[in-house]
Structure 1
Amino acid sequence: MESYRQVVKSMNLLLDEFNVLITKEFKELDDFHLTSQQEVVLIYISRRDRVTAAQIAQEFDITKSAVSQVLTKLEQQDLIEKIVNPDNRRESFIVLGKQGKRFMDTLVEIEDHMIEKYYSKVKMDDLIHMTNTIEEINQVIKKNKK
């Protein structure tokens, strides 16, 4: 167990350092004035065709009330739109609004910049290995949550 503790501590320190080093790359996102929770929810919405507040609450394991508060703030900034479900008029689908699309476009630009400036300087096999390791950890976490 001590070996795991040391490796995880090193990994967390490196991730913290990585976040500090790349923070300047993400300054453009400051214009959106989003909390980290709002960002994560917005990215989640962007990766789905259509999603409901109930699905967001279930995915993030937070109350519908908390989701409603986040969505209200995102909607006020035109980051999302709510579209009434034609099959169930009491339910709405959440999709990206005009500013939400602009936010996602900005993320793509930053990602492209990061690839060109940093990630392309690392061996592809190493990036693949890191990706596979993160996926494996995610799977372990998902299994333990069930």
Structure 2
Amino acid sequence: MAKDEKLIYKLVEEINEAIYSMDSHFIKLHQNLISDELSPKQIILLDFINKNSQVTIGQIANYMNITSSAVGQLVSKLEEQHYVIRSINPENRREIFVCLDTSGIKYFDREEEIKQFIISRYYSKLELSEIVQLKEIVQKLNQIVLKEGIINEINDIHLKKGEI
């Protein structure tokens, strides 16, 4: 490994450790403030609905890469607890819409309160210019990751292992 590569590796390790430490703290904070007993799949489903207002079972299945039947089971459990509500699409009666119900709306209201708390408690201690710079760097890295794509990454890993 070249000298610059070693330095980059060390710096990225330090960045990853700092991010992991912050994420661990924020997760603990979140767990103490939200008592909902939701599985990771249920949270992903609720988040998808929240970001898109009203979605179909098929859209959820496609997004989560699971079967419509599996989505139906997840939705049924969430519907029992009033996190989501189903309705029939009046224009296509074979299509089911899913949107947030009362518990789901309350869940995201609490999420917003936690987000506001984290921003006011931690991010507000940074200069505005630092927050702008952080945002730009993270977005740039995200674009690089998205551009590369997962298939290229998997192929690269297999190449390094001598499997391809």
TM tier, smaller: 0.7 to 0.9
Match of 2:33? 28
**Which of 1 and 2 has higher RCO (CA within 8 Å, sep 6+)?**
1
> Which of 80, 89, 93 is 1:89 aligned to?
93
Query: CA 1:115/1:84 → structure 2, altered by over 3 Å: closer, same or farther?
Result: same
Q: CA RMSD in A?
A: 2.6
The normalised TM-score by structure 1 is: 0.82
Q: Note if 1:120 corresponds to 2:127.
A: no
Alignment of 1:13-52 (within 5 A): 13-26=17-30, 27-29=32-34, 31-52=35-56
> 1:74 is matched by which residue type in structure 2?
L
Match of 2:61? 57
Q: Note if 1:77 corresponds to 2:81.
A: yes
Unaligned segments of structure 1, at least 5 residues: none
The alignment partner of 2:93 has SS state of: strand
Q: Which stretch shifts more, 81-90 or 127-136?
A: 127-136
Match of 1:133? 140
Number of matched pairs: 144
The alignment partner of 2:49 has SS state of: helix
Q: Distance in 2 between matches of 1:103 and 1:134?
A: 30
The alignment partner of 1:95 has SS state of: strand
The alignment partner of 1:89 has SS state of: coil
Query: CA 1:35/1:138 → structure 2, altered by over 3 Å: closer, same or farther?
Result: farther
Q: Distance in 1 between matches of 2:10 and 2:65?
A: 30
> 1:85 is matched by which residue type in structure 2?
N
Unaligned segments of structure 2, at least 5 residues: 152-164
Match of 2:112? 108
Query: CA 1:92/1:144 → structure 2, altered by over 3 Å: closer, same or farther?
Result: same
The normalised TM-score by structure 2 is: 0.74
Q: Quick one: percent identity of the two aligned structures?
A: 29
**CA deviation map 1:88-134 (0-9, x unaligned):** 11211100000000001001100100110111223222332244135
> 2:94 is matched by which residue type in structure 1?
R
> 1:76 is matched by which residue type in structure 2?
E
Name the larger-Rg structure.
Answer: 2
Q: Note if 1:66 corresponds to 2:73.
A: no
Q: Distance in 2 between matches of 1:41 and 1:61?
A: 11
Query: CA 1:60/1:16 → structure 2, altered by over 3 Å: closer, same or farther?
Result: same
